[in-house]
Amino acid sequence: MKYLHSIKNDELEINTKQYFFNLLFILKTLYFIFFASLLVFARPVLGISFFGYRIGELAIVLAFLISMLFLILPEKMQSLFFKNRLMLISHKLIILSFFVLAFVSNSNFLSSYTYKVSSYIWTISFFYLGILLIANFKVEKFNPLMFMSAIPLVTYIISTGNYPNFIMQFFIDYSDKFQFLKPSDIFLGYIVTNFVNRYIFKSKKSSIAYLVISTALMAPLLLLGSRGSFLGMTLFFLFELFNYRYELIKNWKNTLLIFLIGLIVLIFSTSRIDFENNSNINLGEDFTDYLGQNISPLGLIDSLRDFENQKDTVRVFFSFYWHYGRLESTDSTTNWRLDIWQDIFYGMVEEERIIKGYGYKEVFPQMLDPTAPGRLGRDGLNENIHNYFMNIFARGGILQLIFFLMLHYSFIRHWKEQNGDRLILNFMIPCLIVSSLDVTMEGVHFPLIYYSFLFFFLNISSKVNKII
């Protein structure tokens, strides 16, 4: 009887485990579908409402709850997510700093505005959701992440005037806002899929080929839309080429073939955009169709040169100069950002807010400066200063900024301990540079993907390397 009872308990335990893994697989698949839709359609997905609340708002609430849970969980349970103690300490300090600074600045803990402007703190907790991406992850078997390889191609198609009408109408009907993909959205899909393919593809040759072809496809589109996103893509491409340098040299014939194919793709992707006649297009806002007239391969360089001349894409990097104690630029867009950042910094120095920041009570006073109108945007709703780290510094002061830097350093150190190199910087640096030049981390979409996949990369790398 005792033997039969033991068998029944074993069967129950096996069934329970199987049920748990099946549930986890379902959650993982749904999470992947959600991620894929974010990478392809971006902001409109987060605007869809359930029971009167947008997905983006629900995501922030979830992130806040995870943050609170993180604080009260025993350290043994926290270690299930991290083996690096510096990660735990840094994240705790960031969360605790919010409550201290919110109290010091007399922020209203019951006001939704307080949590809206502090969303950059709560979105870190999306890191923990990355565990769903690695659940039962096996390279040699089918994995939903395999489908991510198609995302750059899909985003290119819908961003060049081929957005499906029925999907567009769906977002118009059910989302609070419809917009086309912003350059930072396109960049994020590009870099995530390339890094994921490290674990999906079974050879470096495949990874290199995908890198070159996807870069050739995306380059004209990002060049058209945003200097910052184009810079991020360029840095990532160069970092990856350096990482694959021995493979590129060793198989130089294959390298030449891949780059020849990449050149053909670049000619094709460029030919679909009329730079000269559509240089005023602003991705992510008001455009419907910017398919250009086909150009010949011989016209490729001229098209790129025309666009570069109109957009000052290269000259902007040499446009900076020092004027009466301030860094300025001859480029109007760049100078707009520089003015805001420096006004905030000097304002913090003058008001002795370097340590505590402005808190979470109100709009930065520099955004309301009557001598510099237009900073709130055409709709008067813009509060973003287009710089991730400057925003952290302005809201939470120098100490909170240090805590954030500690957290990101801990990611690098954890990777180094697991893999013996600093390859994760190839992913982190371009993403953080783009976030320092645009409104990305102040929202939900970018940090949700960035932190979730950062968890995936940090925790799957050593396991996959053993398999490969």
**pLDDT (0 to 100) of residue 164:** 86
**pLDDT (0 to 100) of residue 298:** 43
**pLDDT (0 to 100) of residue 464:** 46
Mean pLDDT per block of 10 residues along the chain (468 residues) reads 51 63 74 85 89 88 91 73 81 95 91 91 90 66 74 89 87 87 91 89 88 94 85 95 93 93 91 53 40 40 49 61 75 82 91 92 85 70 86 94 96 90 94 91 91 88 46
Contacts of residues 419-428 at CB distance under 8 Å and 24 or more positions apart, as own/partner, are 419/461, 419/462, 419/465, 423/243, 424/454, 424/457, 424/458, 425/239, 426/195, 426/236, 426/239, 426/240, 426/243, 427/191, 427/195, 427/236, 427/454, 427/457, 428/454
Is there a domain that residue 453 lies in?
A: yes
Is there a domain that residue 220 lies in?
A: yes
Return d(Cα 232, Cα 223) in angstroms, integer.
11
Using an 8 Å Cβ cutoff, are 368 and 376 in contact? Answer: yes
Question: Are residues 327 and 461 part of one domain?
Answer: yes
Question: Are residues 349 and 454 part of one domain?
Answer: yes
Question: Are residues 232 and 329 part of one domain?
Answer: no
Task: Spell out the residues 6+ positions from residue 235 whose beta carbon is closer than 8 angstroms to its own.
Answer: 429, 430, 433
Output phi, psi for 284, to 5 deg: 90, -5
Return d(Cα 453, Cα 192) in angstroms, integer.
8
Question: Are residues 114 and 100 part of one domain?
Answer: yes
Question: Are residues 325 and 464 part of one domain?
Answer: yes
HSE of 261, CA atoms in CB hemisphere, 13 A: 12
Question: Are residues 336 and 428 part of one domain?
Answer: yes
Q: Could you tell me which of 63, 116, 62 has the C-alpha nearest to residue 443?
A: 116
**pLDDT (0 to 100) of residue 400:** 96
Which 3 state secondary structure label does DSSP give 331? coil
Return d(Cα 116, Cα 97) in angstroms, integer.
16
Listed residues 314, 343, 358: the one ending a domain: 314
Question: Are residues 291 and 177 part of one domain?
Answer: yes
Listed residues 273, 292, 314: the one ending a domain: 314
Is there a domain that residue 5 lies in?
A: no
pTM comes to: 0.85
**pLDDT (0 to 100) of residue 280:** 35
Question: Are residues 178 and 117 part of one domain?
Answer: no
**pLDDT (0 to 100) of residue 312:** 56
Question: In which domain, by residue range, is 216 found?
Answer: 143-314
Give exposure, 439-451, as e/b (b: 16+ Cβ within 10 Å). Answer: bbbbbbbbbbbbb
Is there a domain that residue 16 lies in?
A: no
**pLDDT (0 to 100) of residue 295:** 38
- Domain count for the chain, please give it: 2
Question: Are residues 249 and 166 part of one domain?
Answer: yes
Question: Are residues 133 and 147 part of one domain?
Answer: no
> Measured between alpha carbons, how far is residue 285 from residues 114, 161, 183, 281, 454 in Å?
27, 13, 11, 9, 29
Return d(Cα 154, Cα 38) in angstroms, integer.
12
Question: Are residues 199 and 94 part of one domain?
Answer: no
Question: Do the bridges between strand 320-323 and strand 53-54 make them parallel or antiparallel, or are there none, so unpaired?
Answer: unpaired
Is there a domain that residue 23 lies in?
A: no
Return d(Cα 400, Cα 405) in angstroms, integer.
9
Is there a domain that residue 300 lies in?
A: yes
Is there a domain that residue 10 lies in?
A: no
Is there a domain that residue 7 lies in?
A: no
Listed residues 276, 293, 314: the one ending a domain: 314
Roughly how many angstroms between the first and final C-alpha of the chain, as a whole number?
Answer: 47
